[in-house]
Amino acid sequence: MTDTAFDSLALKADLLSNLASLDYHQMTPIQGQSLPHILAGKDVIAQGKTGSGKTAAFGLGLLQALDVKRFRVQSLVLCPTRELADQVAKEIRRLARSIHNIKVLTLCGGTPFGPQIGSLEHGAHIVVGTPGRIVEHINKGRLKLEDVNCFVLDEADRMLEMGFQPDLETIVAALPAQRQNLLFSATFPAQINSMAKNIMDAPEVIKVASTH
Ligand code: ADP
Ligand code: MG
């Protein structure tokens, strides 16, 4: 049997000790199947239903790759709605509690531009946002993505349903060609496959049918 304890992974010691303090000991199935590939730097497509622990799967991947001493946007996470982006940012901050001075910034529609622009001027390591607002910041020249090494599409099925495909294409065009792509989704419509073909590099495909 494969070991499903978090401490079987080559995660940084501060991430592992924080996981223990959060009472995260065993990986969920989707975490166990995706994290070895994510930590190896591969592109991953992972399908699993709500509550299967997808946020920590990509969150630990991007935190492991992050260099907190470089105050640049190194990870970009896209979510379909502001509520989901807020939840994801909250979970990433929890997973990152042991990393001093880490800045996770949310950039979503339905909130004023002014404070977001101020926060961007201040800087961030990780940006979590909704596609429309991220495109607006790119077009205004406020969001620099040249240091992004990890790009995450969370709830990709919902983003496509909501008509975000053109925004996703604009965002991908603004990212460095060399990057890791992680795509998470509860369902796997054909449109996801064709999008994945365009933006990903030989992805590992993981499907977890049940929660346990
Ligand atoms: P999904 O995005 O797949 O719907 P979430 O990432 O929101 O799922 O996780 C669901 C819940 O499970 C969250 O409250 C999260 O804190 C918790 N969780 C995730 N992974 C673990 C784990 N390995 N051990 C304990 N709790 C976990
Ligand atoms: Mg989720």
pLDDT tens track for 6-62: 999 999 999 999 999 999 999 999 999 999 999 999 999 999 999 999 999 999 999
Task: Output the domain CATH number for residue 41.
Answer: 3.40.50.300
- The answer to whether the Cα torsion of 73, 74, 79, 85 is positive or negative is negative
Residue 34 lies in a domain: yes
Distance CA 142, CA 53 (A): 32
Residue 122 lies in a domain: yes
What are residue 22's phi and psi, to 5 degrees? -85, 0
Ligand 1 proximity of 48 Cβ (cutoff 6 Å): yes
Residue 13 lies in a domain: no
Ligand 1 proximity of 27 Cβ (cutoff 6 Å): yes
**Which residues sit opposite 26 in a β-bridge?**
5
Residue 32 lies in a domain: yes
Does the predicted model carry a pTM greater than 0.90?
Answer: yes
**pLDDT tens-digit profile, the chain (212 residues):** 567 999 999 999 999 999 999 999 999 999 999 999 999 999 999 999 999 999 999 999 999 999 999 999 999 999 999 999 999 999 999 999 999 999 999 999 999 999 999 999 999 999 999 999 999 999 999 999 999 999 999 999 999 999 999 999 999 999 999 999 999 999 989 999 889 989 999 999 999 875 44
Alpha carbon 38 to its chain's center: 11
Residue to mutate (ligand 1; options 15, 78, 91, 155; most atoms within 8 A of CB): 91
pLDDT for position 67? 97
Q: How many residues does the chain have?
A: 212
Reduce the DSSP state of residue 150 to 3 states and report it: strand
What number is the ipTM of this complex?
0.99
Domain count, the chain: 1
Distance CA 107, CA 113 (A): 9
Distance CA 53, CA 135 (A): 28
Residue 3 lies in a domain: no
pLDDT for position 212? 47
**Which residues sit opposite 117 in a β-bridge?**
none
Ligand 1 proximity of 50 Cβ (cutoff 6 Å): yes
Residue 138 lies in a domain: yes
Nearest CA to ligand 1 atom 20: 53
Distance CA 121, CA 83 (A): 24
pLDDT for position 143? 97
Ligand 1 proximity of 56 Cβ (cutoff 6 Å): yes
If residue 65 lies in a helix (H) or strand (E), which one and from where to where? helix 54-65
Range of the structural domain that residue 130 is part of: 28-207
Residue 56 lies in a domain: yes
Residue 1 lies in a domain: no
| Spacing, Cα 136 to ligand 1 middle (Å) | 31
Reduce the DSSP state of residue 106 to 3 states and report it: strand
Ligand 1 proximity of 51 Cβ (cutoff 6 Å): yes
